Amino acid sequence: MKLIRDPVHGYIEVPDRLLPVISNPLFQRLRYVKQTALAYMVYPGMNHSRFEHSLGVMHLSLEFLKYIKENSSLEFLDQELMELIATTAMLHDVGHLPFSHTFENALQVAKRIYGVDVFERDKKTHVILGTQLVESGLGSELEKSFRTFEDPVKFITRVLLETPSNKEEKLAHLIISNFIDADRSDYLLRDSYYAGVEYGQFDIERLKRFLFFENDMLVVLSKILPIVEQFLLARMYMFQNVYFHSVVGMYNAILSQAIAQLLRDGYLVVPTEVKDFLVFDDNFVVSKLQLVRHELRNAIMYRQGFKRIKIEPGPSCIDKLESMKKEIYEDVRSSDGLLVYHEFNDVPYREEKDEAVYILTPHGVERLKRISPVIGSLSEIRKVVVGYHVSREDLGRKYEKILTECGD
Amino acid sequence: MKLIRDPVHGYIEVPDRLLPVISNPLFQRLRYVKQTALAYMVYPGMNHSRFEHSLGVMHLSLEFLKYIKENSSLEFLDQELMELIATTAMLHDVGHLPFSHTFENALQVAKRIYGVDVFERDKKTHVILGTQLVESGLGSELEKSFRTFEDPVKFITRVLLETPSNKEEKLAHLIISNFIDADRSDYLLRDSYYAGVEYGQFDIERLKRFLFFENDMLVVLSKILPIVEQFLLARMYMFQNVYFHSVVGMYNAILSQAIAQLLRDGYLVVPTEVKDFLVFDDNFVVSKLQLVRHELRNAIMYRQGFKRIKIEPGPSCIDKLESMKKEIYEDVRSSDGLLVYHEFNDVPYREEKDEAVYILTPHGVERLKRISPVIGSLSEIRKVVVGYHVSREDLGRKYEKILTECGD
Amino acid sequence: MKLIRDPVHGYIEVPDRLLPVISNPLFQRLRYVKQTALAYMVYPGMNHSRFEHSLGVMHLSLEFLKYIKENSSLEFLDQELMELIATTAMLHDVGHLPFSHTFENALQVAKRIYGVDVFERDKKTHVILGTQLVESGLGSELEKSFRTFEDPVKFITRVLLETPSNKEEKLAHLIISNFIDADRSDYLLRDSYYAGVEYGQFDIERLKRFLFFENDMLVVLSKILPIVEQFLLARMYMFQNVYFHSVVGMYNAILSQAIAQLLRDGYLVVPTEVKDFLVFDDNFVVSKLQLVRHELRNAIMYRQGFKRIKIEPGPSCIDKLESMKKEIYEDVRSSDGLLVYHEFNDVPYREEKDEAVYILTPHGVERLKRISPVIGSLSEIRKVVVGYHVSREDLGRKYEKILTECGD
Amino acid sequence: MKLIRDPVHGYIEVPDRLLPVISNPLFQRLRYVKQTALAYMVYPGMNHSRFEHSLGVMHLSLEFLKYIKENSSLEFLDQELMELIATTAMLHDVGHLPFSHTFENALQVAKRIYGVDVFERDKKTHVILGTQLVESGLGSELEKSFRTFEDPVKFITRVLLETPSNKEEKLAHLIISNFIDADRSDYLLRDSYYAGVEYGQFDIERLKRFLFFENDMLVVLSKILPIVEQFLLARMYMFQNVYFHSVVGMYNAILSQAIAQLLRDGYLVVPTEVKDFLVFDDNFVVSKLQLVRHELRNAIMYRQGFKRIKIEPGPSCIDKLESMKKEIYEDVRSSDGLLVYHEFNDVPYREEKDEAVYILTPHGVERLKRISPVIGSLSEIRKVVVGYHVSREDLGRKYEKILTECGD
C-alpha cells in the first residue's frame, strides 16, 4: 500500500495491485492533460490535471464500494473485485486527448468548418481511445495484478464502453458512470477546490455512507435526499459558473479553432499507437501553436485581442441560430478563426427509461423526480458565446446585432 | 477594480492601476511557469503557477500595508504609493526562467559540469532578468498608471535589486523581501494548499494585523510571537518535507541535468529580448526534451528508470563530499547525466547585522533570537541526493557506499 | 477598535462606539442563551450562544454596508450611521428568553394547553421585550456613543419593530430583517459550523460584494443568482435537517411542556424589569427543572424515557389533525406532558406585495421567483412530531395509529 | 453502529457495544460540563462540552488502534478489545466536576485560603471520582457489552488510574494518557476549532498512520517528526494563548474563588453518590452563584468590575512570590475574594525515566529530545495573574508594585 497526499481527499491509499498501472507511462501521461482546459484563464488556480482526478476517482470508488458492501451485504464483492473496479475507475480518462473536452470539440469544428473528418465514432472519443490503450498497453500489468479474473482487460473495457455483461460489471458501471458517481463526485469537489468556489462542494462523507446496491440498481437512502439535491445543484452551478463561464468558453473555442486548423493542415494527427499517444499531451499542442496565426496564439496564451458576445438563448432564438448555422460556419471559415462561435448545453438531470437516481423510501424505491420538486424544476442550461478578434469589429457588430435581436 | 477568485485568499481585489500590467504578455507568461517545478511528482496537486502566486503576493502586500499604515500612522503611505508597492510585489518573479529555481540550478550545473558559462551574475538570475524586462517591456504602462511618481520603473527596479534609496523604497523592500514578507507568506499558504499539507499554514489574519513600520524597520508586536514562530517553522517544514523531499529533489536534479545539456548543445539559450522571453516557459523546455537522451526524458516525464540514495550529512561528511567534488562531477559528466548529484541547504532563520525579525516588546524592539528559544534552536537543513539510472547500477553501488560511510 | 476572535468570521473588528453596549450586562446575558436550544441533543457541537451570533450579525451588517455604500454610492451612509445600524443589528436578539424560540413556543403551550395567558402580543415576543430593554437599559450608553443622532434609541426600536420611518431606517431594516440579511447569513454559517454540516454554508464573500440599495430596496446583482439560490436552499436544508430534526423537535417540545408547566404553576414569570431579566437565562430555567416531574427532567437532561412518532403530513392530514386539536390538547394536558405534540412549518421563500428578493438584471429589477425556477419549486416544510413517555405506551399506540393513517 | 455528526472529525461511528454507556445519564451529564470553563470570556465560540470531547477521544482511539494494529501486526488486538479501550477512552473524563479544572483549582483555593479540606487525594480528583462512578454506576452495562472479558470495569479503572497490569492495559494507557495521545489530539483539534485559532491544529491524518506499538512502547516513525514537533508546539501555543490567556485566567480564578467560598460555607458539597453527582454540573454551580457576593457573581457572569495585572515571572521572581505566599493568601482571604491570585505553569515536554515520545529511526528507537533540537529548546510556561475589584484599587496598587518590581 502506498500513500499519496491529495489536497481534496487527504490521503489516498493505493492498494499494491494498482501500483504497476500507476507507474505505466500511459497513466503518468495524464499529468500533462489539464482537467479543465483553459478554465485557468478566469480561475487562476485551475491548473490541475487528469492524473490527480483519476487517483481521486479510484479512491472514491473504493470508499463507495466499502459502504455499499456493508449496506447491501454483498458477498460477491471481495477485495480483488473492489480493486479491479477501482482500477477501472482510475482508467476511465486514460484516453483523453490534450485539453480533454476542448480537443473533442476541436474534432467537431474540424469537421463542420473545414470538412476534415479526423476521428468519428458513435461514442465519446476518449472512451474509445482509452479502451484501445488499455488493451494494447496495459494488458500484461493487469493480468499480473488480477490473477483470479479470467480477463481483467475485458472487464475494464466492457465497463468503460457502458456494455456491462454481468452483475459485477453493472456495479462497476454504476460506480463510475452514473448521475451520482465517483467520477462526478471527484470532479465537483476537485474543480471547486482549485477554482476556490464553494458551490461545487457537497457532503461526500454523508453521501457515501448511504449508498446501496439493490436489484442491480445503485440506490440512495431517502434520508440523504438533501445531499442528492445538493450534489445535482452543485454540478449545475459548476456548469453555469465555471465550465460554461463565457470567458472560459470563448478561450476554449479559440483553442478548438486553433487545434482544428492544425488538424486540417496535418500538423496534428490523432495518434492510434501507444508510442505516439504518450507524447500527445497539452505541451505538445502548445508547442504547435506557433504554426497557427499569431492572433489565435496570442489569445490562447496571453488573453490578447478577442472580445466576446454572450446570450442565453430562448427556444425561438435557438431555432433562428440553427437556421443560420451555414452562414455562421462560413463566417468562421472565411475569417480563418478570427470569429469563433460556441454553443454550450447541459441537462442538469434527466430521467430516462433505465436511468435515474433511485431513492430508497419507506414505501419502496422511487425515482428522484417524483419526490424532489427542486430537481424537477431544473431545466437545460444553454449559452451561446461568440468571440471575435478586434481587427474584425465588422464581424463583432454583425453578431452583436444578431444575438441582441435573438436573445430573451 | 477587478475581482479575481483565488482559492487561497478568497477574492483578490485588483486596483485599476494594476490592470495594464496584469494584461501584459510578460505577466501572463507566468501562467506557464510552475511555482514548484517538479514537486507534483510527489504531491500531485502542485501544478500551480507563478501567475497566481504573483497575484497573491500583490494582494498580501496591500493587506500588510493597510494595517501598517493604521498601526504606525504613516501619512506618506497614500493609495498610489500602496499600489506602486503592490505592483512591485506583483512583479518580483516576472523574470523567472522555466521551472524557476530548477533552471537557475541548471545554469550552475552547465557551468560546473560542462564548463558552459551561460549567464552569471552576482545576484539571483530571475531578479536581474526581471528588472531588465520591467525596464524594456513595462515602462509605458507603469508611467501611465503612476503619474505622480517621477520614475516608477526606477522605484520598482531599486526595490527588486535590494538597493532602496529612500523611506518609501525601504518599506517596499521590507514588505516584499524579508524574513516575514508578502512573498513568503503567499508561497507558504499557497504551496501547502496545493500540496494538501497543513504544516505550511499559519495564522495570516493575525499576523497582518500586528505589523508596524518604525525607524525604517518592519516590526512585529510581541503578542504575536507564537505566529512568528509558527511562520518560520512552517517554512522550515515545507523545506524539509516538500521542497527538499528527496524524490522531488532527484527529479529536479535530472531536469537540471537535461536543461544543462540543452544549454551546452545550444538547443536552449537564455533570452535577453522581451520577444524571445515571452515564449521561454515550461512548455518550451518540455518541447526540447526530445533532444536529450531518452533515459532523462522518461525520468522527467514518466518517473521511469532512476533510483535514489539520500543522506543528511554531518559536518565531516560535508567536508568529505566537498573534497570529492571533482570526482563526482566527472562521474556525472562521463555518465552523460545517468548519475545526478544534488545538495540542498537552507537556513531557517539567521540574524545578521541589519537583518532580523524585530519584535516590539514592552521593553523596546528586540531581535527575535533573543526572545524565542524555539527559533534559536533551529539549525541549517542539509540534504544530499544522488540519483542514478538503473542501467548504471555500478554508479549506484559506488555512491551507496560513499554516502553510507559518510552519513551519520 | 477591539478584535474578537470568531471561528466563523475570523476576526471581528468592533468599533469603539459599540464597546459600551457590548460590556453592558444586558448584552453579556446573551452568553447564557443558547442559539439553537436543544439541538445539541443530536448535534453535540451546537452549544453556541446568542452572544456570538449577535456579534456575527453586527460584523456582517458592517460588511454588507461597506459594499452597498460603494456599489450604490450612498453619501448619506457615513461611518456613524453604519455603526448605529450595526448596533441595531447587534441588539436584534437582546430580548430573547431562555432557549429562545423554545420559550416562545412554551408561551403558546401554556395558553393552549393550560389556559395561562402569560404574555401575548401581536409581534414576536423577543422583539417587544428587546425594544423595552433597549429603552430602559441601554439609553444612556447609546446616547453617549451616537451624539450626532437626535434619538438613537428611537432609531433602533423603530427598526427592530419593523416600522422604519425614513431612508436610513429602511436601509437598516433591510440589512437586519429580510429574506437575505445579516441575521440569516450569520445563523446559517454559524449553525452549520457548529453542527458540522456543510449544507448550511454559502458563498458569503461573493454575496456581500454584489448588494445594492436602490429605490429603498435591497437589490442583488443577477450574476450572483446561484448564490441567492444556494442561500435559500441552505436555509431550507438547515430547517429540514437541523432545526426541524424530529429528535431535536421532540426534546424541544418536552422542554416547552416543562416551561409551560412552570409558568402555569408560577415558578417561572416572564420578567419585565431589566434587573429580573438579567438572571433570566438558560441556567435559570434548568435550575427550575427540579420542580417538574422527573420524566420530563430526565428527558430534557439525559435523553431518557421518551419515544417519538413523526410524519410529514399532506393537506388532508393537516385538516384532520386540525379537527382533532381539542382531543390532542386534552391528551397532553391529562397526561401531564407525558404526551407532547408539535407541528413545525416554514416557508422557504414567499413573495408578497412589498417583500421579495429583488434581482438587478440587464432588463431592470425583477422579483426572484420570476427568474429562478429552482426557488419557484420550493414548497412549505411541514412536520408533525409526537413524543410519549414509555410509561404511556397506550398513548403511543393511539398516536401511532392516527399518524400512520393520516400520513402520506 | 450509530453515526454522530461531529464538526471536528466529520462523522463519529459509534460501535453498538458503546451505546448503553453513552445513553447512561452519567455520560449524558458531560453535556453540562464545559470543556474549557470560562475561556468563552475571550473566545466566544468556546462553549463546547466534555460530552463531545469524550466522543472525540473515543473516535480517535479507535483510529489510532486501527493503524497500530496494522503497523505492528498486533494479533491480540481484536475488535472487542479495541472497543473496550475505546470505552475506557470515552470515560476518561466522566468524573469531571463542574467547570472541570477550575473546580479542581477551587478545591485547592478552599484548602489554602480557607482551610477547608474538602477532597484530597494523591491523584487527580476527576480520575478518582471517575473510576468510582464507573464502578458504582456503569458496571452492569459494561459487563453486558464486554462478555469475553472477565472484568471490564477493572480493566477500565486500572487504565484510568495509570496502573496497567498487562500488555492490553498498557496499550490502552498509552493511547489515552501519553505525551501524544487520543485525549490531547482531540482537545487540541477541538479547542482550536471552537476558539477559531489555527495554531492548535496539526496533521492528525498523517500522525495516526505512523504509530506503532513495540516492546510495550507507543512509537512514532521518524519520518513524521515534523508532525510530532507540530503537535507539541500546538499544545504549547494553546496553553500560552488560550488556556493561560490572562483574561481567561483571571475569570477562572474569580470563579475558583466563588466556588471555594461556596464549599467553605457548605452551599456546595462534592458528591460521592451517583445520584448526587448527576445533578452536579455547571448549571448547578451557576445557580449557587447568587449566594456569593455580587462583585464575584457580576464578574463571572457579566465581565464586570475586575482589573488584572499579569507577568511572566523569572526564577528570582518565583522565589520572591513563594516567600510572600502567606501574605498574598491573607490578602485574598481578608478581601473576601476581591483580590484573586493565580499561578499557571505547564511543561510543554519532559522526558523522565519511563516517559518520553519514542521515535523509530533507521538506527533504532530514540527519545524525542535526542533528535529534535526544537523540542529540546522548549521551556516551562509560567504566568502569574492578579485580579482585583475596582472597589479595592488599594490592593491593585500594592500588587501592581510587587509584580512590576518582580517581573523581568
Confidence of residue D120 (pLDDT cuts 50, 70, 90): low
Mean pLDDT of A112-129: 80
> Do the Cβ atoms of A196 and B49 come within 8 Å?
no
Instruction: Tell me the percentage of chain D whose pLDDT exceeds 70.
Output: 98
Nearest CB partner across the interface for A379, out of C197, C201, C373: C373
Confidence of residue B123 (pLDDT cuts 50, 70, 90): low
Is some CB atom of chain D closer than 8 A to the CB atom of A3?
yes
Identify any residues that bridge with D6 across adjacent strands, giving them in sequence order.
D10
Instruction: Note the pLDDT of residue B96.
Output: 95
Burial D47-71 (b: 16+ CB within 10 A, else e): bbbbbbbbbbbbbbbbbbbeebbeb
> Do the Cβ atoms of C209 and B10 come within 8 Å?
no
Q: What secondary structure letter does DSSP report for D49?
A: B
Those residues whose C-beta lies under 8 Å from the C-beta of residue A322, and which sit 6 or more positions away, are: none
Is some CB atom of chain D closer than 8 A to the CB atom of B376?
yes
Mutate to test the interface with C, among B205, B221, B227 (most CBs of C within 10 A): B205
Is some CB atom of chain C closer than 8 A to the CB atom of D390?
no
* Rounded distance between C-alpha atoms, residue B117 and residue B170, angstroms: 34
Nearest CB partner across the interface for C196, out of D6, D278, D302: D6
Instruction: Note the pLDDT of residue C363.
Output: 86
Residue whose grid cell is 478566469: A42
Convert the pLDDT of each residue in C369-378 to its tens digit.
999 999 999 9
Q: What are phi and psi of B271, to 5 degrees?
A: -75, 150
Confidence of residue A117 (pLDDT cuts 50, 70, 90): confident
Those residues whose C-beta lies under 8 Å from the C-beta of residue C285, and which sit 6 or more positions away, are: C98, C99, C103, C259, C262, C268
Convert the pLDDT of each residue in B360-396 to its tens digit.
998 899 999 999 999 999 999 999 999 999 999 999 9
Is some CB atom of chain C closer than 8 A to the CB atom of D358?
no
Convert the pLDDT of each residue in D292-326 to its tens digit.
999 999 999 999 999 999 999 999 999 999 999 99
Instruction: Note the pLDDT of residue B144.
Output: 94
Is some CB atom of chain C closer than 8 A to the CB atom of D383?
no
Confidence of residue A122 (pLDDT cuts 50, 70, 90): low
Convert the pLDDT of each residue in A72-93 to its tens digit.
999 999 999 999 999 999 999 9
Question: What is the full DSSP assignment across B61-124?
Answer: HHHHHHHHHHHHT-TT--HHHHHHHHHHHHTTTTTPPTTTHHHHHHHHHHHHHH-------SS-
Mean pLDDT of A299-313: 96
CA distances from C336 to C305, C306, C331 (A): 15, 14, 8
Mean pLDDT of A222-237: 93
- The interface residues of chain D toward chain A in range 199-258, judged by CB-CB distance below 8 A, are 205-206, 209
Using CB atoms within 10 A of its CB, is residue C329 exposed (0-12), middle (13-18) or buried (19+)?
middle
Convert the pLDDT of each residue in A314-325 to its tens digit.
999 999 999 999
Tell me the one-letter amino acid at B87. Answer: T
Please give the grid coordinates belonging to residue A324: 443560420
Write down the mean pLDDT value for chain B: 95
Instruction: Note the pLDDT of residue D408.
Output: 57
At residue A138, the 3 state secondary structure works out as coil
Identify any residues that bridge with B141 across adjacent strands, giving them in sequence order.
none
Nearest CB partner across the interface for C28, out of D196, D278, D302: D302
Convert the pLDDT of each residue in C229-250 to its tens digit.
999 999 999 999 999 999 999 9
Is some CB atom of chain C closer than 8 A to the CB atom of A378?
yes
pLDDT at C228 over 90: yes
Mean pLDDT of D189-204: 93
At residue C384, the 3 state secondary structure works out as strand
**Which residue in B has a C-alpha nearest to residue A54's C-alpha?**
B44
CA distances from A219 to A160, A210, A222 (A): 21, 8, 9
Question: What is the full DSSP assignment across D89-127?
Answer: HHTTTTTPPTTTHHHHHHHHHHHHHH-------SS-HHH
Please give the grid coordinates belonging to residue A195: 477554482
Whether B98 contacts B183, CB under 8 Å = no
* Rounded distance between C-alpha atoms, residue C370 and residue A50, angstroms: 39
Is some CB atom of chain C closer than 8 A to the CB atom of B1?
no
Whether C283 contacts C32, CB under 8 Å = yes
pLDDT at C118 over 80: no
Contacts of C199 in chain A (CB under 8 A): 202-203, 226-227, 230
Neighbouring CB atoms inside 10 A of A48's CB total 29
Is some CB atom of chain B closer than 8 A to the CB atom of A29?
yes
Residue whose grid cell is 495521545: D181
Instruction: Note the pLDDT of residue B408.
Output: 57
Convert the pLDDT of each residue in B297-319 to its tens digit.
999 999 999 999 999 999 999 99
Mean pLDDT of C17-45: 98
Instruction: Tell me the percentage of chain C whose pLDDT exceeds 90.
Output: 91
* Rounded distance between C-alpha atoms, residue B306 and residue B254, angstroms: 9
Identify any residues that bridge with B12 across adjacent strands, giving them in sequence order.
B4
Write down the mean pLDDT value for chain A: 95
Identify any residues that bridge with B70 across adjacent strands, giving them in sequence order.
none
Confidence of residue C166 (pLDDT cuts 50, 70, 90): very high
Burial D363-388 (b: 16+ CB within 10 A, else e): eebbebbeebebbbbbeebbbbbbbb
Residue whose grid cell is 518565583: D318
Mutate to test the interface with C, among B2, B3, B16, B203 (most CBs of C within 10 A): B3
Contacts of A29 in chain B (CB under 8 A): 301-302
The closest alpha carbon to C6, from D45, B201, D7, D238, belongs to D45
Those residues whose C-beta lies under 8 Å from the C-beta of residue D373, and which sit 6 or more positions away, are: B377, B378, B379
Confidence of residue B272 (pLDDT cuts 50, 70, 90): confident
pLDDT at C315 over 80: yes
Question: What is the full DSSP assignment across D217-279?
Answer: EEEEEGGGHHHHHHHHHHHHHHIIIIIT-HHHHHHHHHHHHHHHHHHHTTS-----SHHHHHT
**Which residue in C has a C-alpha nearest to residue D190's C-alpha?**
C45
Is some CB atom of chain A closer than 8 A to the CB atom of C374?
yes
Dmax over CA atoms of chain A, in Å, equals 67
Instruction: Note the pLDDT of residue D199.
Output: 84
CA distances from C364 to C222, C361, C368 (A): 10, 5, 12
Mean pLDDT of C96-104: 95
Q: What is the 3-state composition of chain A as percent helix, strand, coil, each rounded to the nearest 5?
A: 60, 15, 30
* Rounded distance between C-alpha atoms, residue D340 and residue A183, angstroms: 61
Contacts of C241 in chain A (CB under 8 A): 226
Whether B303 contacts A28, CB under 8 Å = yes
Confidence of residue A120 (pLDDT cuts 50, 70, 90): low
Please give, rounded to a whole number of angstroms, the shortest distance from the CA of C403 to a CA of chain A: 15
Convert the pLDDT of each residue in A125-175 to its tens digit.
888 899 999 999 999 999 999 999 999 999 999 999 999 999 999 999 999
Convert the pLDDT of each residue in C323-355 to its tens digit.
999 999 999 999 999 999 999 999 999 998 778
Nearest CB partner across the interface for B6, out of A6, A44, A304: A44
Please give, rounded to a whole number of angstroms, the shortest distance from the CA of A10 to a CA of chain D: 7
Instruction: Note the pLDDT of residue A198.
Output: 84
Instruction: Note the pLDDT of residue A297.
Output: 98
Strands C364-367 and C358-361, by their bridges, are antiparallel
Contacts of A209 in chain D (CB under 8 A): 3, 11
CA distances from D222 to B249, D181, D372 (A): 20, 17, 10
Neighbouring CB atoms inside 10 A of B380's CB total 9
Identify any residues that bridge with D389 across adjacent strands, giving them in sequence order.
D306
Instruction: Tell me the percentage of chain D whose pLDDT exceeds 90.
Output: 91
Instruction: Note the pLDDT of residue B120.
Output: 60
pLDDT at A123 over 70: no
Size of interface C-D (CB pairs under 8 A): 99
Contacts of D196 in chain C (CB under 8 A): 5-8, 10
Instruction: Note the pLDDT of residue C366.
Output: 94
Residue whose grid cell is 447512561: D24
Convert the pLDDT of each residue in B61-82 to its tens digit.
999 999 999 999 999 999 999 9
Q: pTM score, two decimals? A: 0.95
pLDDT at A291 over 70: yes
Instruction: Note the pLDDT of residue C117.
Output: 81
Instruction: Tell me the percentage of chain C whose pLDDT exceeds 70.
Output: 98
Convert the pLDDT of each residue in C364-398 to its tens digit.
999 999 999 999 999 999 999 999 999 999 999 99
The closest alpha carbon to A49, from A4, A2, A94, A3, belongs to A94
pLDDT at C408 over 60: no
Strands C306-311 and B10-14, by their bridges, are unpaired
Confidence of residue B125 (pLDDT cuts 50, 70, 90): confident
Confidence of residue B406 (pLDDT cuts 50, 70, 90): confident
Please give, rounded to a whole number of angstroms, the shortest distance from the CA of D70 to a CA of chain A: 12
Is some CB atom of chain B closer than 8 A to the CB atom of D25?
no
Q: What secondary structure letter does DSSP report for C273?
A: S
Whether A300 contacts A52, CB under 8 Å = no
Q: Is the CA virtual torsion A52, A53, A57, A63 positive or negative?
A: positive
pLDDT at D355 over 90: no
| Chains in contact with C, counting 3 or more C-beta pairs less than 8 Å apart as contact | A, B, D
CA distances from D309 to D112, D246, D342 (A): 22, 8, 11
The closest alpha carbon to D86, from D7, D151, D18, D186, belongs to D18
Size of interface A-B (CB pairs under 8 A): 98
Convert the pLDDT of each residue in A14-27 to its tens digit.
999 999 999 999 99
